[in-house]
Structure 1
Amino acid sequence: GSLTHLTMELFKQQVNSFMVHIPYRGIAPAFTDLIGGQTQAMFPGLAAAVPHIRSGRVRPLAVTGMQRHPQFKDVPTLDESGFKGFDAQQWYGVVGPAGIPAPIVKQLNESLATVLRAPDLREKLSVEAVEPIVMTPEKFGEFIRADIARWTKLARDRSIQLDS
């Protein structure tokens, strides 16, 4: 039920293909098997793939977002490769426990936004294939709810069960 698994399931659904999901206990053993030839493909987050791409051990075939990544301009999107409308991106966010007072949430958001807009940090993150996007807490909440609904529907449609 990881995002890499769900991205593969979305791809399988869209192209009506057969691929076997191998439930690894982390991304490192999945890359070990890909590099070693035990598996043929995977859908990792780009940030996890960067060191393997740069070392030449892994070749990126496409990115799963709707735009090419600035660090890998020669790698097409799946949409450009003929899989129209394919869009599945990993993201990182900052969350806290429910009930944090609104003024504290506002201050945290403003402080994080200031840091994430700093050119030197943006450059360092970009090299690692991470593109910061600043949102209000309300917009981020809407984004999370929409993402949960999207992936929950796919998991139900594909009969994906969480490992216990």
Structure 2
Amino acid sequence: MQRRLALALAAAVLAAAAAPASLAQAWPGKQPIRLIAVFPPGGSVDQVARILAPQLQQQLGQTVIVENRGGASGTIGTAYVANAPADGYTYAVVFDTHGVNPSLIPNLPYDSHKDLAPVVLVGTSAMVLATFAGSEYKNFGDVVAAARANKNVSYGSIGSGSLGHLAMALLAKNAGLEMTHVPYKGGGPLMQDAIAGHVPLSIGSVFVSKPHIDSKRLRPLAVTTSKRSPELPDVPTVAESGYPGFDAPAWWAVLAPAKTPPELVRRMNEELNKALRVPDIANKLASQGIALVGGTPETARTFIDRQIDTWAQVVKENNIKAD
């Protein structure tokens, strides 16, 4: 009797161990893979997903579908993926708001740490502090001088609680500057007012700002990453403009449901890294102002966890509320 029980238990253990291996061997042949872009069509998240999808499809020999599930600063699509079957066929493509939402949105419908598994950090991008062509601000030092002289310096961002808003709040606090935030409903309205001079300063991603910088309607003053942007090599960083250590990048990542078998997460990570090394894909992403990162799921998790912790402190110290 005891022998039969022992054999049954051993068989059960072997079966449990074999299930993930069998799933991994069958992947991705079961069904199409879905990349859930957690913002509407047209933005950078959508662009990243649609650049990656055809390359992944070619590599995997399986249909890869981009599905937009936007709303609530990316939380609707992210919640959908957090609750999706953990079978390796559904992934979220997220933006830097993923690192801000846990501290900004009450009753978030998922736990960012426990309900989602980072697969890869696609890349990062500078944000650009810019002013309109006829502005009195000729460089970043002029902005600092005006703020210290209490000249009511105001800046626009894509919304309250956006990374641009938080980055400027962090800078103002660290530098002892008085600045007024003007929130907009996205990059389009922000850029319209910025180039018209209705708001003296704008903070936006390279993706949003560069077309207007290229047309000379905006003058870039500084970028928020620790290194200069390859897309704007002549624009100094905030760090080299007197605030060493300042680093506030925009970023994009791919996530899976938390219970996705580690073997499938690793497989998808390998395929995504392979895609990022394809010159055409790398060039398309670079044209969006994205500096590629790639690497392991652990690298992505460490980066994202640090972002969540950093911006939680800024939100709390500045009593920032979402729109």
Asked if these proteins are the same fold (TM beyond 0.5), I'd say: yes
Counterpart selection for 1:6 from 157, 166, 173: 166
Distance in 2 (CA, whole Å) between partners of 1:129 and 1:25 is 22
Contact 1:52 1:58 in 2 (8 A): yes
Instruction: Name whichever of 44-53 and 152-161 sits farther off.
Output: 44-53
SS at match of 2:182: coil
Distance in 1 (CA, whole Å) between partners of 2:302 and 2:209 is 28
Deviation of 1:123 (Å): 2.2
Distance in 1 (CA, whole Å) between partners of 2:282 and 2:164 is 25
Distance in 1 (CA, whole Å) between partners of 2:283 and 2:215 is 20
Give the aligned partner of residue 179 of structure 2.
19
Give the aligned partner of residue 148 of structure 1.
308
Tell me the matched-pair count: 163
Distance in 2 (CA, whole Å) between partners of 1:145 and 1:80 is 26
Distance in 2 (CA, whole Å) between partners of 1:27 and 1:73 is 22
C-alpha deviations, 1:14-73, integer Å up to 9, x for none? 221111112211111111111111111122112221211112111111111111112211
Name which one, 1 or 2, has greater alpha-carbon Rg: 2
Distance in 2 (CA, whole Å) between partners of 1:60 and 1:91 is 20
Deviation of 1:2 (Å): 0.9
Give the aligned partner of residue 28 of structure 1.
188
Question: Does the alignment pair 1:69 with 2:232?
Answer: no
Give the aligned partner of residue 203 of structure 2.
43
SS at match of 2:231: helix
Distance in 2 (CA, whole Å) between partners of 1:13 and 1:110 is 41
Question: Does the alignment pair 1:103 with 2:290?
Answer: no
Q: Which amino acid aligns with 1:88?
A: A
Distance in 2 (CA, whole Å) between partners of 1:139 and 1:130 is 17
Q: Which segments of 5 or more consecutive residues in structure 1 lack a partner in the other structure?
A: none
Q: Which amino acid aligns with 2:167?
A: T
Deviation of 1:153 (Å): 0.4
TM-score of the aligned structures, taking structure 2 as reference length: 0.49
Large movers: runs of 4+ above 6 Å:
none
Contact 1:12 1:19 in 2 (8 A): yes
C-alpha deviations, 1:99-154, integer Å up to 9, x for none? 11211111110000001112222223223311110121112111111110000001
Counterpart selection for 1:52 from 185, 190, 212: 212
Percent identity among equivalent residues? 39
SS at match of 2:250: coil
SS at match of 2:273: helix
Distance in 1 (CA, whole Å) between partners of 2:217 and 2:306 is 35
Distance in 2 (CA, whole Å) between partners of 1:83 and 1:58 is 23
Distance in 2 (CA, whole Å) between partners of 1:14 and 1:47 is 27
Contact 1:8 1:42 in 2 (8 A): no
- CA-atom RMSD in angstroms: 1.3
Instruction: Specify which structure has the higher proportion of strand.
Output: 2
Distance in 2 (CA, whole Å) between partners of 1:76 and 1:144 is 26
Q: Which amino acid aligns with 1:70?
A: P
Q: Which segments of 5 or more consecutive residues in structure 2 lack a partner in the other structure?
A: 1-160
SS at match of 1:146: helix
Give the aligned partner of residue 135 of structure 1.
295
Give the aligned partner of residue 277 of structure 2.
117
Distance in 2 (CA, whole Å) between partners of 1:90 and 1:55 is 23
